[in-house]
Amino acid sequence: MHTIQFPPPFPFPKQTRSLVFCDFDETYFAHESTAEQRKDIQQLEDFLYKASQQYGFQIGWITGSDTCQLLSKVKQADMRFSPHFICSNLGTEVFHVLMDGKIEPNQCWKKRLPNHYEFQRTTDEVVSELKNMYQIDLVSQSQYGQSVYKKNYYYFIRSSVLTAYHINVMKQVAATHGVGLNINRCNPKAGDPEYAYDVDFVPKEANGKDAVAAFMCHWFKVHVDDTLAFGDSGNDIKLLKFVKHGYLVGNATSEAQSKHEQMTKGSYTKGILEMLKKHYTQVTE
């Protein structure tokens, strides 16, 4: 069990009948973290505290952040509660939040992933091939650290034509080596450079947030028809299209908006609360 400790989770339902998946950065958590945005989070928390038991759902974060980064942001936003589960590092890690706020890894998910030394070796081969054969330079996101199963890089844009070609090459090379790849436009609001793409290598077994969402549905024996999800960026699109009801929040990136139509009016947690109230009505006071 990890020693890291989050706030206590929302009350657990007696029977889990549906699941709600949320991206974290710039969806559940606004990096500006203004007083108004922190108040919006508390209003969402008040709703979730009652509704999760009343309607029998569990909520979880599926995020590119690791658990240490998450905890720092949770404290920054004065969050009082944690979700029931956390899928960190782009869903390559799955944790269940215990009643005291400690987190416990899901061992079944861990067993699905390949040997991490083999994954590291293969990823290094992909990055080397891209540089030596195609002159594609990827810059390691070392300031955020590298996790065991998620290797982060930036690809800096030089021209639209060259970028389109390079993205296609990256996808082909990664696929040839059997490595999962997530590429999406960086969001400066989340602390990324402006003219760049996030390039994340992950095991093919965990390629896309939809992969871990499908696992969680299987784990809780919840049909996909009983799922909702919220996101703001390009790497959320597969998740939003996997669930029955997937929404971009009102502050979503232009890239994401070009790929998905369903969108909330409100931004961040206001948008999440807006749609949860439509799907889970008559919450008792």
pLDDT band at residue 284 under the 50/70/90 scheme = low
Instruction: Show Cβ contacts of residue 1 under 8 Å, excluding neighbours closer than 6 positions.
Output: 102, 103, 104, 105
Is the model's pLDDT at 167 over the cut of 70?
yes
Task: Give the architecture (CATH level 2) of 2-112+207-279.
Answer: 3-Layer(aba) Sandwich (3.40)
Alpha carbon distance 43, 161 (integer Å): 45
Token pair, residue 186, equals 């960086």
With a pLDDT cut of 70, the percent of the chain lying above it is 96
Q: Which of 23, 198, 210, 226 is catalytic?
A: 23
Mean pLDDT of the chain: 95
Per the annotation, the verdict on 23 as an active-site residue is: yes
With a pLDDT cut of 90, the percent of the chain lying above it is 92
pLDDT, one tens digit per residue, over 105-135 is 999 999 999 999 999 999 999 999 999 999 9
* CATH number for the domain running over 116-205: 3.30.70.1410
* pLDDT of the residue at 283: 54
Q: Where are the domains of the chain?
A: 2-112+207-279, 116-205
Please, are residues 192 and 186 in contact by the beta-carbon 8 Å criterion?
Answer: yes
